[in-house]
Amino acid sequence: MMKKIKIALIPGDGIGPEVVEQGVKVLHAIERMDQGLSFTFETFPWGCEYYLEKGIMMDANGIDLLQKFDAIYLGAVGYPGVPDHISLWDLLLKIRKSFDQYVNLRPVTLLHPSFTPLKKRSEKDIDMLVIRENSEGEYAGAGEWLFKGKPEEVVLQTGVFSRKGTERIIRFAYEEARKSQRTLTSISKANALNYSMVFWDEVFEEVGKEYPDVTTFSYLVDAASLYFVSDPGRFEVVVTSNLFGDILTDIGAAITGGLGLATGANINPEREFPSMFEPVHGSAPDIAGQGIANPLAAIWSVSQMMDFFDEKEWSEKILATISSIILETDNLTPDLGGKATTNEVGDRFIEILSRAT
């Protein structure tokens, strides 16, 4: 039976469209090689250029339009001239929240020793999956700004940790650890954050009672940041809050090859709503339009998408192809030390992928 996956494309701004184009090329190639899979695409022109023209980041009925898709594939959003809090809240965060994409899945995987600045570390030392809470916590947007501009001015930024929100992300992480037979590490900060993180730790322990087969560790975020650099091998599956996950995964990107290789999926595990797949990097205005953006992070997102739709073989083949293309310096973009264009990397990628099949 033919499996059909409906994909909404939001290429966005800057290098977003340049890298998404390569990801779509890879999806087309998969479709050609796999008789059982087909993709349909519809492109939405939303983003900052759209905003500058129409005063809105996305159409008013944008969420309704996206609802009928199985997945959203996004490039990057943000551009000079449009305040970042507008582009972020009115498009990306709106999608994440409306579609209850409460899991942010960030692989921190070293594909080749030459891509880590850490001495004497190889693939076996850095291979983790960071599961970041994506719907509440420190990024709930709750707070107050009192006595603005007055000497007694006070600003409150409130972390929101609901039982439902905390339990579901921690449970998701335990399930993932069980399924992949890996250890699970919770990262929090209960010594200083005496409400939210004490609660987080309690829930981690409570839910853990249902998973006696999963080996767990619990670290404070400051110590964990140190270990991400000094001893990343301790981590396999990691679960953490929105803010801590944001910061830790940037350390993760730094130790595995930088933004050109970092990817993240925004998942609604219940599949009630579409999930969203995107490279971690932004629109890179400094190199946009030059055709030299590295498309490998966006292509890694396609691997995550295949994984989400239970096409494990394809997700693994894409990763294997990334591992093999990064050895071909001539076929990489300048950020990875090569001279190739975005388009050339995409073409070469498909060549290797097709040969592996």
Residues near Mg ion (CB under 5 A)? 246
**Minimal distance, residue 249 CB to Mg ion, in Å:** 7
Q: Which does 77 bind (CB under 5 to 8 A by kind): Mg ion, ligand NAI, none?
A: ligand NAI
| Spatial strand order in the sheet of 275-279 | 37-43, 3-12, 71-76, 275-279, 263-267, 103-109, 127-133, 237-240, 184-188, 216-220
Region binding ligand NAI by CB under 6 A among candidate stretches 51-59, 72-80, 243-251, 307-315: 72-80
Give the residue with the Cβ less far from ligand NAI, 215 or 329.
Answer: 329
Site mask for ligand NAI (CB under 6 A), range 245-274, x = bound = --------------xx--------------
| Integer Cα distance of 318 and 301 in angstroms | 10
Region binding ligand NAI by CB under 6 A among candidate stretches 123-131, 139-147, 245-253, 293-301: 293-301
- 37 φ, ψ to 5°? -125, 135
Q: Does residue number 335 form part of the binding site for ligand NAI (CB under 6 A)?
A: yes
State which of residues 152, 213, 270, 286 lies at the interface with ligand NAI (CB under 6 A): 286
**Minimal distance, residue 248 CB to Mg ion, in Å:** 10
Name the region of 271 (left: φ>0; alpha: ψ -120 to 50; beta: rest): left
Q: Is 272 exposed, middle or buried (0-12, 13-18, 19+ CB in 10 A)?
A: exposed
C-beta of residue 297 within 8 angstroms of C-beta of residue 259: yes
Find the helix or strand (DSSP H, E) in which 37 lies: strand 37-43
Q: Among all residues, whose Cβ is closest to Mg ion?
A: 246
Q: Does residue number 338 form part of the binding site for ligand NAI (CB under 6 A)?
A: no
Give the residue with the Cβ less far from Mg ion, 201 or 246.
Answer: 246
The residues, any chain, with a CB within 8 Å of residue 133's CB and separated by 6 or more, are: 102, 103, 104, 165, 166, 169, 239, 240, 241, 242, 245
**Minimal distance, residue 257 CB to Mg ion, in Å:** 16
Q: Which does 246 bind (CB under 5 to 8 A by kind): ligand NAI, Mg ion, none?
A: Mg ion
Q: What is the CA angle 296-298-302, rounded to 5?
A: 105
**Minimal distance, residue 347 CB to Mg ion, in Å:** 30
**Within 166-195, which residues bind ligand NAI (CB under 6 A)?**
none
Nearest to 204 by CA among 168, 232, 236: 168
Q: Which does 284 bind (CB under 5 to 8 A by kind): ligand NAI, Mg ion, none?
A: ligand NAI
Q: In the numeric block, which tokens belong to residue 33?
A: 């090689």
Give the residue with the Cβ less far from ligand NAI, 138 or 278.
Answer: 278
Cross-strand pairs, 145? 155
The residues, any chain, with a CB within 8 Å of residue 248's CB and separated by 6 or more, are: 130, 132, 187, 221, 224, 225, 228, 238, 240
Neighbours of 144 (CB within 10 A): 9
**Minimal distance, residue 264 CB to ligand NAI, in Å:** 8
**Minimal distance, residue 330 CB to Mg ion, in Å:** 31
Nearest to 159 by CA among 141, 143, 137: 137
Q: Which does 136 bind (CB under 5 to 8 A by kind): ligand NAI, Mg ion, none?
A: none
Q: Does residue number 293 form part of the binding site for ligand NAI (CB under 6 A)?
A: yes
Give the residue with the Cβ less far from ligand NAI, 321 or 333.
Answer: 333
| Integer Cα distance of 337 and 5 in angstroms | 35
Tell me the CA distances in angstroms from 355 to 123, 288, 317, 320, one per residue in order: 24, 31, 11, 12
Q: Which does 57 bind (CB under 5 to 8 A by kind): ligand NAI, Mg ion, none?
A: none
Q: Which does 287 bind (CB under 5 to 8 A by kind): ligand NAI, Mg ion, none?
A: ligand NAI
**Minimal distance, residue 37 CB to ligand NAI, in Å:** 26
Q: What is the contact surface with ligand NAI in residues (CB under 6 A)?
A: 15, 19, 76-79, 84, 92, 259-260, 278, 281-287, 293-294, 297, 333, 335
